[in-house]
Structure 1
């Protein structure tokens, strides 16, 4: 709302014409922009099941306040535990070492090379067999076959030196060793990922807030319905009646989260709502958005508490336009939300997320400014003007406006204290008209 005081001295009125004049002095005018919106929580986080399984343990109840990091539940997931065991087994198998041949004297080099080659080929094959199926295993198997072919070719070339034979074997097995070692690193990463997955089965609160179980009502009901649909038709009716006639357990019908409830990976389990710091999200029309700046104050009223006024402050001004069905353009403006006071001076109740609100954004205030009633200002030939009375005659005076309240407007230039102006009935006045 506008905060304005206008003092007019020596007022005169003509009852016949409906024209009223007054002498201007200073006042304070606040210009506000009205913005409608709704209350939002500081943060809302939906917690989903990290894996398929059942609710193994539940440490909270619906509506409970929890702290960040507090344990909420544990998911029992045998499949996730099995994946960790498999990853650990694969990592151990991929650690087989492949021997590398060394140079030997020429007299025994060939026999030594054969023995070393066979041992190396066997070790390489063992390591490859332990790898999981995939491109890396196929590539390693191809490299081993090529190594065997290269060694066989070098072996039959008796005219070649023993060292060249040894070099061919060394180079071939080195490439295989690199492939196996690389796959071993992949296996270690798989173990780390599997351990993280098991750790995630213990669900902790990412933020402080209030727990809501309602998010799982439909999901748990659909799980039970899905199980029923897999039964023979002759048994579905009996099973449904045993479960309560609705295809779900009493837990699912009430939307409660209970121990033993089957869950699927990614299924919403509960919601955490942080109401410690409420925010107000509003839409401001394009005609007013350029007046709105971060940090300006606001008075907020709620539909739920119409006799109370709450304090707010603009925290962000959006730059992305939103177009309505009627073609209007608006921008999102967010405000922090403070305490409120009722008309009786009492502390107003704390609102809840989702409540509707209207904010009066105090975009500009002119203190001790020359001001006139809004009814005194009119537009003429593209300029803002007022009627000033000089020697009893009306003369049009172009003015520059300052803060514009709903009832009062500050005049930045064009008038001075003590000027007599028309404050009512300006539309009835003509240039040079006698107003004595």
Structure 2
């Protein structure tokens, strides 16, 4: 048999290591504590409706402080007064200016040649002259007719007076027996005839005088009407010289030189550089808060000007509303049309307001709820929001200062009320 080495083995006594025991005991306690703290969190994780990565979310903290509502955007300079001139009558047009020329009020910009209108004016002027002659002739004829009527009336009066005298003389002679009664009766008949003649002469004088007056008045009215027609044609002929209604600058020529145009065709536009405004586009959500007269600030060229909202478009185009600001006082002379400027309109300014960063949660929930984040969990909570600015939204109820909420990305939560946030 082969002998083993068991006879050579001997037991060695190992001294106890207290330090090692303490380290092992401490590690065991730490593990137990970690397990104790993790159990509630693990239980909460398992109670969540869904889990979403934090990288897909944006968080913000509710704060209290000043709240300023304003609208800041880029605007462009536009002319508040930019009239477009049209052809008053059809014809060939001769332009007197070029695009960009500085013009004065009343300066001729274009001349429309219209032989038809010019000839019509000459014809109507001739007709007016003829009517004036007729009117003057009617006055002369009336004067002559009145003279004849007055003469007949005067003769009738004289004849009546003579008949009265004859009757008186015959009556005296009859009383003395110098003449028969037949002569007295004849004198009475002559007097009656003279009285009738005088009465008719007076009536003719009155009636014919009125008739003559009406005839003269009719001819005068016809002449006046013709004169008004001539004046209107003269105005139209004068308008063939298209004049600038304002001091400004020629903006655009709509026709070529010596082009033949129809009535009311566009000819030229004039820009009044003394009345400039700034036009800006406002998001539809802020348009309802805008009002005419609101103060604004306009900056550009290293300067700042005060302004006021002067007009708001009633139409929404591509989710935006056009608004215009007018400069307080005189428009700056160094500005040019279509120049870009920065515009800011102050809507509201308050202190000590509970706010949070604006995000998609306002539109997704219509401002009715938000997800409050705490220990890796996002819990849905009912809230009530107030006014909104470009970057903040006012919190009226449901949140307190220091709360952390999900401001964007909550659309991935669906209808979940408890969401685990995976880091």
- How does the TM-score come out when normalised to structure 2? 0.52
> Tell me, which stretches of 5 or more residues in structure 2 are unaligned?
1-44, 46-50, 158-195
Q: Given the superposition, is the C-alpha separation of residues 357 and 203 from structure 1 closer, same or farther in structure 2, using an over 3 Å criterion? A: same
TM-fit CA distance, 1:67: 2.2
2:218 maps to 1:220:
no
* Aligned counterparts of 1:393 and 1:215: Cα–Cα separation in 2: 67
- State how far apart, in whole Å, the 1-side matches of 2:60 and 2:319 are: 40
Distance between the aligned counterparts of 2:53 and 2:266, measured in 1?
Answer: 72
CA displacement, residues 332-382 of structure 1 (integer Å, 9 cap, x when unaligned) = 5334479xxxxxxxx9x95544x8999776544555422112359568987
For each residue in 1:35-56, what CA deviation from the matched residue of structure 2 results, as whole angstroms up to 9, or x when unmatched?
x997643233333455677778
Work out whether residues 153 and 198 of structure 2, in 8 Å CA contact, stay in contact via their aligned partners in 1.
no
Partner of 1:273: 271
Q: Distance in 2 between matches of 1:378 and 1:197?
A: 62
State how many pairs are aligned: 314
TM-score where L is the length of structure 1: 0.51
Map of 1:349-360 to 2, 5 A cutoff? 350=335, 352-353=337-338
- What residue is the counterpart of 2:218 in the other structure? 179
CA distance in 2, matches of 1:291, 1:397: 28
Q: 1:162 corresponds to which residue?
A: 201
1:177-205 superposed Cα distances (whole Å, 9 cap, x missing partner): 22112113223323433444454455432
Q: The residue matched to 2:255 in structure 1 has which SS?
A: helix
Q: Structure with the greater relative contact order (CA < 8 A, sep ≥ 6): 1 or 2?
A: 2
How far apart are the structure 1 equivalents of 2:364 and 2:99? 64
Distance in 1 (alpha carbons) for counterparts of 2:87 and 2:409: 70
After superposition, the Cα gap between the structure-2 partners of 1:422 and 1:289, relative to the gap in structure 1 and judged at 3 Å, is closer
Query: Does structure 1 residue 93 correspond to structure 2 residue 91?
Result: no
**2:76 paired with 1:65:** no
**Counterpart position of 2:80:** 42
Match of 2:311 among 288, 309, 316: 316
CA deviation vs aligned residue, 1:114-142 (integer Å, no higher than 9, x gap): xxxxxxxxxxxxxxxxxxxxxxxxxxxxx
Q: Contact 2:62–2:399 (CA<8 Å) still a contact in 1? A: no
Larger radius of gyration between Structure 1 and Structure 2: 2
Question: What is the CA–CA distance in structure 1 between the aligned matches of 2:342 and 2:287, rounded to whole Å?
Answer: 16
Find the residue that maps to 1:95 and give its secondary structure. Answer: helix
What secondary structure sits across from 1:220 in the alignment?
coil
Matched, 1:209 2:207: no
Structure richer in helix, relative to its length: 2
**CA contact 1:66–1:210 (8 Å) conserved in 2:** yes
RMSD: 5.6
Match of 1:289 among 287, 290, 304: 287
